[in-house]
Amino acid sequence: MYRIGIIGGGQLGKMMILDAKRLDTYFVILDPTPKCPADSIADEHIVAEFDDVRAFHELAEKVDVVTYEFEHINAEALQELEAEGHKVYPSSETLLHIQNKYHQKEWLKKHGLPVPDFKKVETPEDIREAGKVFGYPMMLKTCTGGYDGKGNAPVNTEADVESAFGALGAGSLPLMVEAFCPFIKEVSVLVCRSVNGDVKVFPVAENVHKDSILDETTVPADISDECTKKAMDIAREAVHVFNACGMLCIELFVTGDGQVLVNELAPRPHNSGHYTIEGCVTSQYENHIRGILGLPLGSTELLRPTVMKNIIGQYPVDKAEVKGLDEAYAIGEVKVHIYGKEKVSKGRKMGHITVTAPTVEEALSKARLAHSKISF
């Protein structure tokens, strides 16, 4: 039996467990929410905060390997576990390079991977100086903790400097500024590396965001063969540069003149990889578990054109009850995933829809129609 610990019990952790239950596995999750999505299928649940070092040790003692479903956790606590001989994948070293966006970009640049211009800043004057070099617009970012647009503040002109600085804590958090990238497409590539060094790359996915939250993922991406090759080459290099184990997601910008630049990385399964459950021979979740256990990785071949559409909360609801499944499933070729979150809030990811079809256009049409039927 494989005993696996997951820090985080959200939808990513739940989908890891679902895909790995075909194996002889035993899962222990650590999450502060008693009825988190993964609680219903985990074998054990340690209810503890993500900064509870004691709970990290309790988790590690119960399992053969520890992994995590999000990167905003205590890397030093993971280092302690590794020092005691526990297996942690991705490693604390990988996490430390990635969870601070400035360090992440520095590491990418040092190893020759293409990134937009960036600069660490501490004061409004630093931001203005960057504006003189990069030009406007720019994006001010917190170096740690941001996701789904949180931790970002646009600086469209010099007049926006003070308000953007204030919006991100007025210097109470480490900040960086990034030059605007005139992208025409946002894409991502998922790559998995096993503890044995085996590497598998998934197809390039095209992503559309609304209000800084992923809305739709389409595979294959509608980009040139040249840009596709660049994106996949970057992914293969990145997984080695960061010495990653398990899944690594590389989010990229594609520009009108054919450049492909790294936006950011996530050392885990990713929202833009949900499509792999139905769309590929082996999902990102199964390959993540295979990778951290040292099992041979599965084929990442795309079976058919695939579209994933997120189901996002539109307004607060105290008790989440999904409606419209009958109508959505009646469309055909539609798969609906509901995460089992107790409450709905605006912008919260409540589930997703996946459609595979003979063409991207048909899959997209059916996914959007099914999405229109579902509500909470």
Specify binding-site residues for ATP: 101, 141, 186, 209, 263-264
Please give the span between the terminal C-alpha atoms of the chain, in angstroms, as a whole number.
38
CA distance 103 to 110: 10
For residue 263, which of 200, 212, 221, 211 has the smallest C-alpha distance? 212
In terms of C-beta density within 10 A (0-12 exposed, 13-18 middle, 19 or more buried), how is residue 325 classed? middle
CA distance 358 to 204: 18
Q: What is the sign of the dihedral through the CA atoms of 55, 78, 69 and 142?
A: positive
Annotated binding-site residues read: 101, 141, 186, 209, 263-264
CA-derived radius of gyration, the chain: 20
CA distance 342 to 320: 5
Please spell the DSSP secondary structure of 91-154, one letter per residue.
Answer: -HHHHHHHHSHHHHHHHHHHTT-----EEEE-SHHHHHHHHHHH-S-EEEEESSS--TTTTEEE
Both structure tokens of 128: 């203005």
CA distance 310 to 331: 17
Q: Do residues 264 and 274 lie in contact, with contact meaning Cβ atoms separated by under 8 Å?
A: no
Look-up of token digits 């997703």:
352
